[in-house]
Chains A and B, each alone.
Chain A
């Protein structure tokens, strides 16, 4: 056991620069540790190669002073092993070799050593080399810190931008995707199976006719907060907000196997969570309001659409148009959906709450599609 490690560290001198000394001769390690501590550095010791490697992993020192000639694992081996692992490759290693041993220096360079120190050790040389490496180390750490800070800032900027359209969870996935494959949002338009959900507010136009502008804005904000919360709750992507209508999509930008179910639950949550607000507004303005929803699924185009000055990430196509048409005909507290959505979500709906509403023929399609209405029970 080394006598060095038992020696108390000088208090108040520690600078946070930690040096690991690996040497089988306790006199050498004690000497080196003494010199480094006198310079205000932290020094710990290991008496052979294996212990040295273990301590590099356990303590992550800022610098390793490594003796070459040790029984068992030699300094060259320790050096090669540490330099070939990404986790430890950045730790600077100073090989301590005999003065007359130029062959060792060549082997040391091959093993990846950062610098050399001659034995017997002259203290001026030791301190000069360690200080140089320390400055390098501190510069590198500062650069790394700045790089990380910039990366965090850019991630936060992306998160802030995207979290206006998607749930925070989805924003994280998008950022991760941007880190790996990237270009999720810049890649060219693609055809994709989507579930489109349109919601709007029945009766609101009549309220706006008799209310102050400021109040209308506050009311819209309250209404949209409820709808976007419900949408994020089920990981929807918000594509458009206009007047009092909201378009959200599922299965975009990432696949969602249960996209139809998510849409159905989102619709129910929108209607149910708005109901208490509707009650309050009715007491105040004497006008009934309520959320109406249309949902349809099918193939659509997902793209950034617009001019160089204004672009919008959006979905275009039949399911979107149909969802809009269904929303327009849905009364308050009702969800209208196309047959393909209904067949996927019927297990979620009480049978008594659903009724078929006949068929509609969509533009560009020969076959008419079946429509189903689901009433959402709201507590008054």
Chain B
């Protein structure tokens, strides 16, 4: 009985080597650990810039001689963003109507134009000054992507073209 007990005591696993290795692994993970920042994003569908009005095949100039509804095929809204010398937003324009650099004014204007039940607009082209900084551009895109179309969907079709 005593002999058997003595044998059991002899069988000991040497964990020192395993502990060394585990500590090295732990050191590696601690040193390489970098918490990823929580980032947001805006998902956009950006096709190549297209004509602002659809063209029916076979249609010729002067076909609609009475020119009853010139806006019927107009489905793209053009927004212009002009930059200052420092690259900040200086002026905005929706179609032909210019406004200051107020994003809330742009929000109201787009809300009226895109949310109207009779509106045919389903995409927006932003004509961007080449000097405009990404931060200012994102503020304009942010206003655009908050707009809802008459169908209830959010506006996601955007194209960016470089202005002067």
Bind each other: no
